[in-house]
Amino acid sequence: MLAIAQFTPLFLAILICWIFSVCVHEFAHALVAYWGGDRSVVEKGYLDFNPFKYIHPVTSILIPAAFLMMGGLPLPGGAVQINSAALRSKHWDALVSVAGPASNFMLFLLLAVIVHPSTGLIDPNAAQQPTWATVAGAMCVLELWSVLFNLIPIPPLDGFGILEPYLPHDTVRQVRAYGMTPLILIYFAFNADPVMKGFKNACAGIMDWFGLPFETTWRCYNYALFGSSE
Catalytic (active-site) positions: 26
Q: How far apart are CA 19 and CA 150, in angstroms?
A: 16
Give buried/exposed letters for 83-99 (b at 16+ CB in 10 A, else e). eeeebeeeebbbbbbbb
Neighbours of 195 (CB within 10 A): 14
Angle at 192 between CA 188 and CA 206, to 5 degrees: 95
Look up residue 173 and give its amino acid.
R
CA distances from 98 to 35, 117, 150, 169 (A): 14, 30, 10, 20
Cα torsion angle, 175, 180, 182, 183, sign: positive
Cα 174 to the center of its chain, rounded Å: 26
Determine phi and psi for 11, rounding to 5 degrees.
-65, -40
Q: Phi/psi zone of residue 116: left (φ > 0), alpha (ψ -120 to 50 degrees), beta?
A: beta
Distance CA 106, CA 214 (A): 18
Max CA separation in the chain (angstroms)? 54
